Structure 1
Amino acid sequence: MTFSERLQQVANNPEALTQLGRGLERESLRITEDLKVSSLPHPNALGSALTNKWITTDFAESLLEFITPVSRDVDDLLAQLDDIHKFSLSHMAGERLWPMSMPCFVGDQDEIELAQYGSSNTGRMKTLYREGLKRRYGSVMQIISGVHFNFSFPDAFWDGLFGEQTELQRQDSVSDAYFALIRNYYRFGWLIPYLFGSSPALCGSFIQNEVLKASFEKVGKGTYFLENATALRLSDLGYTNNAQSSLKIGFNSIEQYLTGLNSAIHTPSAEFSKLGVVVDGKRQQLNSNVLQIENELYAPIRPKRVAKSGEKPSEALKRAGVEYIEVRSLDVNPFSPIGIDEDQVRFLDLFLTWAILTPSPEMTDCELACWRDNWNKVVVDGRNPQLELKIGCDGEELLLKTWGQRVFAELEQVAITMDKLHGDSKYQQTCQRLLSWINDPQLTFSAKLLEQIKAYQGISAVGDHYATEHAKQLAQQDFRFYDQATFEQEAAASVIKQRQIEQSDTLSFDDFLADYFADVDVEIPTLG
């Protein structure tokens, strides 16, 4: 069945394409007046980072993460994220949010305090996991920020695509369909850093290799850039894990994916073993395997399912299949106070719907390497008008512009269909706007940002400008979805919930870790 036929089939039920599930996770550093990473602990008024459902921390105490619930309406989704930002900024003692993915200057990485989650076994394990990340990759890499987009199709979509099925048949069909989407994401997802990449430049402290540094151009005192780069955050200079480059994790089925993931969790790493698990009576990492836990797998997209209490992500997938996907390749949008805008959400709606309806043959290791190579080309040279991308393992290539135009021709079909169901033209407007960016790279986020970095003579001045403007804008606007009291109640309830978790612990931390990793062949040293 062709893409167009599948689109028509699911569109027969209006709810199939009007009830898409979306959630956002935005990371952002708290910064001081003089553009340094905050050294203050997580603000008390924001509640417990362990248990607040909207406001938590990622790697560091200073790295906030804002989380929306699942929404079926684009305006509601953005209003929720707006309100979370507004409340948080009002309780940050005058600190601001850094508006870009690549962090401001960091002098000594040991000044970056790991996120703290209290005295419970769960909280201590979260911090120890971050200690391991610090030892393995360095703290500076871990405070690079992004925006994650969680996305799912409603039951009506699957009904239209598959018809009547038993529960088990539906579970298998849905998982297969999401993995087909993931394969197409690897094939065509380079469109996301091309359009929305916002890290064409970075602080010179990120580039340790002087020979490599010489290949960059410099502006101001210490900002380095590549003229046609889009998203250096996704390059080897950014949020990557070289130790994982040899992992064979395929996406042809949920079984293949889980087999590869579990292999990585169980595979010892000679490099990480040298760090030690316990040194001088202090834990350095959870274990010395290639992945301490599943979350350490760096990927531009992940299959997900909401886990039950005590259940690991892979166990949830094995139990009931894929429930949604998490898109992880979005840079923070520096031009938006909340790190993402409406056009980006609507584009992702269109692109992910197109990706799941477009035929997606199984992918060999050679093809996966080919698509990854395309991504690498786009993140470092994406705005080069002559850039060609591979279209398979046989060496054939196609201009990025030409390939992008072909994809957008089919995205427009999805946009027309969605607009007809919604009774407006918003998706077509998004499609037309972004098609103009395919035709003119100077309209992309990275081009606009690099132009400002050059004008301001560096990243710091641009970040300072937008951090201030965003704070003002959010302070001046009213709450759009929630209200002040709702956030205060959640903050207070989260503190109580953390205390209850701490009081309910019955195992020592040693025993807790031994129990958690009982199915993994690792030695968990006992500290007593």
Structure 2
Amino acid sequence: MLRGIEREALRIDDNGHLAQDEHPKALGSALTNSRITTDYSEALLEFITPVNHNIDDLLEGLTQTHAYAVRNLNGQKLWPVSMPCYVGDVANIPVARYGNSNTGKMKTLYRKGLTHRYGALMQIIAGVHFNFSVSNELWQRLYDDKIANGNGNACCSKSINFEDFVSESYFGLIRNYRRLVWVLPYFFGSSPALCGSFIKDQKVDFEFEKTGKGTLYLPYATSLRMSDLGYTNKEQDTLNISYNSLPEYLEGVGAAIKMPSKKFAQIGVNVDGDYRQLNSNILQIENEFYAPIRAKRVAKSGEKPSQALARAGVEYIEVRALDVNPFSPVGIDATQVRFLDLFLLHCLLSPSEDTDEAGEAEIAANLKAVVLEGRKPGLTLQRNGHAIGIKEWMHELFSELSTLAVLLDGEDSHAYQTALNTWAEAIDDPDKTLSGRVLHEVVVKGTDHSIWVHQLAKGYHEFLSHYPLSDETEQFYADEAKASLAEQQNIEQQPQDTFSEFLKQYFKDVVPAGTFEAK
């Protein structure tokens, strides 16, 4: 198996407030550095690992990246949970800047468009993304078995070619994942509570309970980040993008990025020379499609994500349903990675029927139920139209995962079995889930959420500041930062079209002509 991790974290000042300064030069260019960049906000760091076969090496590399960054934040700290720190005026949330090249301006304008569409608060919610693929050797064995015996995932015909087999098998994984996605917020959701400043003047349907000076929480919630309060987009509810095959998926995404939005048209695109968004479609670009899992392929220069998939099929999948783990200095730990390995392999190797409208409704309802009340005693979900207790379903799943754990451990290890047993304890004792542990700190112990998180931030800052980095490792990161700044400067010195012309060319197959003219 091959894995990569992307972890987001807000920079905060000594008061626990959002940092207002620009991305530190010592961390390099957010446009071109492959290890350290920014997401929506100039203050929202994103740490990216290279692809790795080995879990220990993967997490060691992620920790080293954190350690180098913390040493170069001029005393600022990293906010170690998904939901944001105290935010005063939302106008003070700085949108990420990527320089003066057309590519950099486009990245900034995309984020400016998100601000106009959904508000800045939603965009500074942090998460962890887990990228996963299996080796070509495994794919070849599965393909050979399919051709010889017709075995394997039920997604494919016996005469399918290798590339299509891989893509359709990944889509089988995706369909199974979506049916079981509620499992991840149950165990790994860690945002049942938040700082009251996040709500501000919003009208919300949740009946929050309150503790401390301003902590709001739902007693059985697992992941408010995954709720309607978090990283969602109701405009996209009408898209109905299918995961039943790669061609259907690409057709759906293609239609979505061309679909006009009356609501977003009211914002305007270029108003008196001021760009407010890239365009007024439901999706400005494909990245705006919010989904708890994505099919991915590394794109060539200038290539859109869907073009890369159409060119050569699915290369890996990106799991996007993970809250930041507040009990880890890097937002995720080895037991989670091993559970994800087992979970995703199970989704890949199990039969995966197509999903119909009733199945989609069931997926959405189960996820919502677990996100808002996953630890509620006696909670039931729906499986193929029939009610099933959440504990019963999880025990069945873990029985199947245990077979994989034994297989992966072999004779010389118990790492996967130990990880699985660790999380199995949380089935019958929901207090052992991450959300249960969070509520123990802020409700049972009575520590205000912001105070508790700030204490964590200080402890992790101390840990990472003193984490051993060799001279060679520090020099590697310094050289990467320096090279990325030089690369950005080189990009900006190249001849380029006007920004309006650049956007016209980028979206020539997507939006009507004249959209980008100054008005």
**TM-score, normalization by structure 1:** 0.93
Contact kept? 2:47, 2:65, Cα under 8 Å: yes
Change (3 A) 1:480 1:304: farther
- Letter of the 1:112 counterpart: I
The CA deviation at 1:67 is 0.3
Q: 1:328-381 CA deviation, whole Å, 9 max, x = no partner? A: 000000010000000010000000001101111011022012111100100000
Contact kept? 2:342, 2:401, Cα under 8 Å: yes
Contact kept? 2:185, 2:223, Cα under 8 Å: yes
- Letter of the 1:21 counterpart: L
The partner residue of 1:170 within 142, 162, 172 is: 162
Map of 1:458 onto structure 2: 448
SS in 2 for 1:212: coil
Map of 1:328 onto structure 2: 320
Map of 2:205 onto structure 1: 212
- Letter of the 2:213 counterpart: K
Contact kept? 1:104, 1:459, Cα under 8 Å: no
User: Is residue 199 of structure 1 aligned with residue 187 of structure 2?
Assistant: no
Q: 1:181-221 CA deviation, whole Å, 9 max, x = no partner? A: 000011112111000100001223444455635x1101122
Deviant stretches of 4+, over 4 Å:
164-168, 208-211
- Letter of the 1:403 counterpart: W
Map of 1:341 onto structure 2: 333
Map of 1:250 onto structure 2: 242
SS in 2 for 1:309: coil
- Letter of the 2:409 counterpart: D
Map of 2:510 onto structure 1: 520
CA distance in 2, matches of 1:320, 1:481: 41
Alignment of 1:64-213 (within 5 A): 64-163=45-144, 169-207=161-199, 208-209=201-202, 212=205
CA distance in 1, matches of 2:131, 2:470: 21
CA distance in 1, matches of 2:234, 2:254: 18
Name stretches of at least 5 consecutive residues in structure 2 with no aligned partner.
148-157
**TM-score, normalization by structure 2:** 0.95
SS in 2 for 1:178: helix
The partner residue of 2:382 within 383, 386, 390 is: 390
Change (3 A) 1:295 1:210: closer
The partner residue of 1:372 within 364, 387, 403 is: 364
CA distance in 2, matches of 1:458, 1:280: 46
Map of 2:36 onto structure 1: 55
Q: 1:107-129 CA deviation, whole Å, 9 max, x = no partner? A: 11110111010000000000000
CA distance in 2, matches of 1:277, 1:161: 49
CA distance in 2, matches of 1:356, 1:290: 31
User: Is residue 434 of structure 1 aligned with residue 426 of structure 2?
Assistant: no
User: Is residue 507 of structure 1 aligned with residue 497 of structure 2?
Assistant: yes
Change (3 A) 1:50 1:231: same
Contact kept? 2:382, 2:388, Cα under 8 Å: yes
CA distance in 2, matches of 1:263, 1:206: 34
CA distance in 2, matches of 1:211, 1:60: 24
The CA deviation at 1:391 is 0.5
SS in 2 for 1:287: coil
Contact kept? 1:144, 1:233, Cα under 8 Å: yes
Map of 2:230 onto structure 1: 238
SS in 2 for 1:483: helix
SS in 2 for 1:398: strand
Map of 1:264 onto structure 2: 256
User: Is residue 413 of structure 1 aligned with residue 413 of structure 2?
Assistant: no
Map of 2:350 onto structure 1: 358
Map of 1:479 onto structure 2: 469
Map of 1:448 onto structure 2: 437
SS in 1 for 2:105: helix
Map of 2:152 onto structure 1: none
Change (3 A) 1:519 1:211: closer
Q: How many residues align?
A: 505
Contact kept? 1:351, 1:411, Cα under 8 Å: yes
Map of 2:150 onto structure 1: none
SS in 2 for 1:378: helix
CA distance in 1, matches of 2:236, 2:410: 44
The CA deviation at 1:481 is 11
The partner residue of 1:318 within 310, 321, 342 is: 310
Map of 1:3 onto structure 2: none
Contact kept? 1:50, 1:56, Cα under 8 Å: yes
SS in 2 for 1:424: coil
Aligned-residue Cα RMSD (Å) equals 1.7
- Letter of the 1:73 counterpart: N
Contact kept? 1:228, 1:381, Cα under 8 Å: yes
SS in 1 for 2:137: helix
Q: 1:393-449 CA deviation, whole Å, 9 max, x = no partner? A: x3x11010000000000000000000017x311000011111111121111000111
User: Is residue 288 of structure 1 aligned with residue 280 of structure 2?
Assistant: yes
The partner residue of 1:401 within 365, 369, 391 is: 391
Map of 2:15 onto structure 1: 34
- Letter of the 2:515 counterpart: I
